[in-house]
Amino acid sequence: MKLHHSTASPYVRKVMACAIARGIAGRIETVSTNPHVSPAELLADNPLSKVPALVADDGTAIYDSPVICEYLDTLGDAPPLFPPTGSAARLSAQIMHATGDGILDAAVGRRLSMPHPQDDGRRAYDARQKAAVDRALDVLEKAPPEGLADIGAIAVACSLGYLDFRFPAEPWREAHPKLAKWFADVSMLPPLAQTVPVA
């Protein structure tokens, strides 16, 4: 398999964390890709010019990260990261997955708007996205994930890692001690320890 990859992308990190958890990371060839310049090699596999984009062994191009993660969950022999369809556990994991990805969408949006002139419109956008992250963190503090056993936990962990990586001047731990304790514990596990983002 081939994965269009960026070490700074939290969505790529989520995919690689899933691959490590599934025990199949060694089957993936990572290809360093800058989606912002829309290279032809990426566009051939993802017309949206986003990473991650995975090319399966049979040549099928798969994107974006939720779809790739669910595909990877069909490979290998490790316990599944996606609980059975129709189960309460799956609904819970997918809601947590959406929360983690929602934090990422807001935080990445803020990050991408930083180089642009900060007029009233951009400041309002930034405040709205930051408020969304803060509300999501408050919800997670009430019921943090347990371990790193499913896709929801992995998504949340990658979102917290991205906040540390791109917004270190906005600490979140003091106001969310239970979430901080969980994140400290799971950060030592291979799926996260081996995928720390690099600028």
pLDDT digits (tens, 9 = 90+) for 80-90: 999 999 999 99
Residue pair 35/21 in contact by the 8 Å Cβ criterion: no
pLDDT in tens, 92-116: 999 999 999 999 999 999 998 877 7
Q: What is the pLDDT of residue 120?
A: 83
Question: Using CA atoms, how far apart are residues 10 and 75, in angstroms rounded to an integer?
Answer: 22
pLDDT band at 122 (very low <50, low <70, confident <90, very high): confident
Q: Does the pLDDT at position 123 exceed 80?
A: yes
How far is CA 148 from each of CA 37, 86, 184, 190, rounded to the nearest angstrom?
34, 21, 12, 10
Contact 90, 82 (CB under 8 A): yes
* Nearest-angstrom CA–CA distance, 25 and 150: 17
Task: Measure Cα distances from 196 to 50, 66, 126, 164, 187 in Å.
Answer: 20, 19, 25, 11, 9
Domain limits, CATH 1.20.1050.10, in the chain? 88-189
CATH: 3.40.50.80, 3.40.1080.10, 3.30.465.10, 3.40.30.10. Which one for 2-72?
3.40.30.10
Percent of the chain scored above 90 by pLDDT?
Answer: 91
Q: Is 54 helix (H, G, I), strand (E, B) or coil?
A: strand
Whole-number Å distance between alpha carbons of 126 and 109: 8
Q: What is the pLDDT of residues 40-67, one digit of tens each?
A: 999 999 999 999 999 999 999 999 999 9
Q: Class of the 88-189 domain?
A: mainly alpha
Residue 21 pLDDT greater than 80, yes or no: yes
DSSP string, 19-48: HHHHT-GGG-EEEE--GGG--HHHHHH-TT
Query: What is the amino acid identity at position 25?
Result: A
> HSE of 130 in the Cβ direction (CA atoms, 13 Å)?
16
Between 166 and 120, the higher pLDDT residue: 166
- pLDDT value, residue 121: 83
What mean pLDDT comes out for the span 10-31? Answer: 98
Instruction: Give, rounded to a whole angstrom, the gap between the first and last alpha carbons of the chain.
Output: 25
Domain with CATH 3.40.30.10 in the chain: 2-72
pTM for the predicted model, two decimal places: 0.95
